[in-house]
């Protein structure tokens, strides 16, 4: 199978190449694609160098699937061109997520919505992905009414410039404004803004979590409110989630439901101080769930802590799982 990775030189694109290799996706020919200024550079895949080609060359190579991680404006311009050439697109940007004609997919939750007619498929926001993986089995069993989520998100979600900023700050290097991914220092700090502010006072990232959750879980009755925060870690995103259900739950039964669900590892050993952390989630594909306990202030309500590697399950792995599903169904 010919596979194109669009944005192959970026942080997520590099991770996509790694995950494709690790999961032994049936790649017969790899086509790394990037902007014209990156054309001719080399990327590594399974120990071999591959030359990066332009968008036009990527289309001309006729891959079966193109996995995009090249930003919203690039996806808006080029995903339709790939699709028109008969190339299935799995897009990691925000460009198509809320388009009512495009599917927004987390395979553990809603892969069954995919059909051969879906030529552009949207990969959700990283913080939404890990949350809905944990929420879906609980919604099926107890029916979710409301979700309050606060996130603690890795600098890797912003990209290489943010990682460089954190590393330089930790060395004591003073950076020029142009070299900073964030307006403020990120080391020894927490920045309660991810993406731009909207008219309602929420950030774009916060509203992504609100809207995407309902679309993926196919239930507009679920009320979601979010606060998203950038913190100086690299291993993954963490989320404190308060969930109110319509139906009563037994905590032991609820934990068993989560432990049996696909893609979830429950880490719930209070006596041994075992709980999910970015340090443990780093370079893993699962969603880790712990600190499960009743909200003692409100009936039928749960507190939980969710952690996942945002570059893997939150981006690269989820996209490749979509491709795996399409392949298993004979769609690609």
Whether pTM > 0.75 for this model: the answer is: yes
Mean pLDDT of 237-263: 98
Question: Which range, of 29-33, 83-87, 156-160, averages the lowest pLDDT?
Answer: 156-160
Active-site residue (options: 139, 214, 237, 282)? 237
* pLDDT score of 301: 98
At residue 288 the predicted structure's pLDDT band, cuts being 50, 70 and 90, is very high
Q: What is the mean pLDDT of residues 178-204?
A: 98
**Catalytic position from the list 126, 139, 214, 282:** 126
pLDDT, the chain, mean: 97
- Burial class from Cβ neighbours inside 10 Å (0-12, 13-18, 19+) for residue 264 reads buried
- CA max distance for the chain: 60
Of 107, 108, 132, 129, the residue nearest 326 (C-alpha): 107
| C-beta of residue 303 within 8 angstroms of C-beta of residue 292 | yes
pLDDT (0 to 100) of residue 24: 96
Could you report the per-residue pLDDT of 51-61, keeping only the tens digit for each? 999 999 999 99
For the segment 37-50, the average pLDDT, to the nearest whole number, is 95
Residues shown for the chain:
332
Q: What CATH class is the domain 127-309?
A: alpha beta
Sheet architecture: strand order including 301-308: 223-230, 144-153, 237-245, 301-308, 287-294, 264-266
Q: Is the dihedral of CA 198, 200, 202, 206 positive or negative?
A: negative
pLDDT category of residue 234 using cuts at 50, 70 and 90? very high
Query: Does residue 99 sit in helix, strand or coil?
Result: coil
Domain boundaries, the chain: 2-124+315-328, 127-309
Which CATH superfamily does the domain covering 2-124+315-328 fall into?
NAD(P)-binding Rossmann-like Domain (3.40.50.720)
Task: State yes or no: is 214 an active-site residue.
Answer: no
For residue 282, indicate whether it is catalytic: no
- Give 89's contacts (C-beta < 8 A, 6+ positions apart): 65, 66, 67, 68, 79, 82, 83, 119, 120, 121
Residues 6+ apart with CB under 8 A from 21: 45, 46
């Amino acid at each position: 199978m010919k596979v194109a990775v669009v944005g192959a030189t970026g942080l997520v694109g590099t991770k996509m190449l790694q995950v494709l290799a690790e999961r032994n996706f049936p790649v017969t020919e790899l086509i790394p694609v990037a902007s014209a200024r990156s054309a001719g550079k080399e990327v590594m895949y399974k120990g071999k160098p591959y030359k990066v080609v332009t968008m036009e060359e990527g289309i001309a190579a006729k891959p079966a699937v193109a996995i995009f991680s090249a930003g919203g404006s690039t996806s808006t311009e080029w995903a339709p061109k790939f699709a028109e050439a008969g190339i299935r697109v799995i897009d990691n940007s925000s460009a198509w997520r809320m388009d009512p004609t495009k599917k927004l997919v987390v395979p553990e939750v809603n892969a069954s919505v995919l059909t051969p007619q879906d030529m552009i498929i949207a990969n959700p926001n990283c913080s939404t992905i890990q949350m809905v993986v944990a929420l879906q089995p609980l919604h099926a069993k107890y029916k979710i009414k409301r979700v309050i989520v606060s996130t603690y998100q890795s600098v890797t979600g912003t990209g290489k410039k943010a990682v460089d900023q954190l590393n330089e700050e930790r060395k004591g290097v003073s950076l020029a404004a142009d070299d900073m991914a964030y307006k403020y220092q990120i080391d020894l700090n927490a920045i309660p803004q991810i993406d731009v502010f909207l008219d309602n006072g929420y950030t774009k990232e916060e509203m992504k979590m609100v809207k995407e959750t309902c679309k993926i879980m196919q239930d507009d009755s679920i009320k979601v409110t979010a606060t998203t925060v950038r913190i100086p870690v690299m291993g993954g995103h963490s989320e404190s989630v308060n969930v109110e259900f319509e139906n009563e739950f037994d905590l032991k039964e609820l934990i068993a439901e989560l432990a049996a669900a696909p893609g979830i590892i429950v880490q719930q050993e209070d006596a041994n101080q075992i709980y999910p952390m970015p340090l443990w989630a780093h370079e893993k594909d699962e969603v880790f769930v712990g600190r499960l306990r009743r909200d003692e202030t409100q009936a039928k309500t749960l507190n939980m802590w969710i952690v996942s590697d945002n570059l893997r399950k939150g981006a690269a792995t989820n996209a490749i799982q979509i491709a795996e599903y399409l392949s298993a169904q004979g769609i690609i």
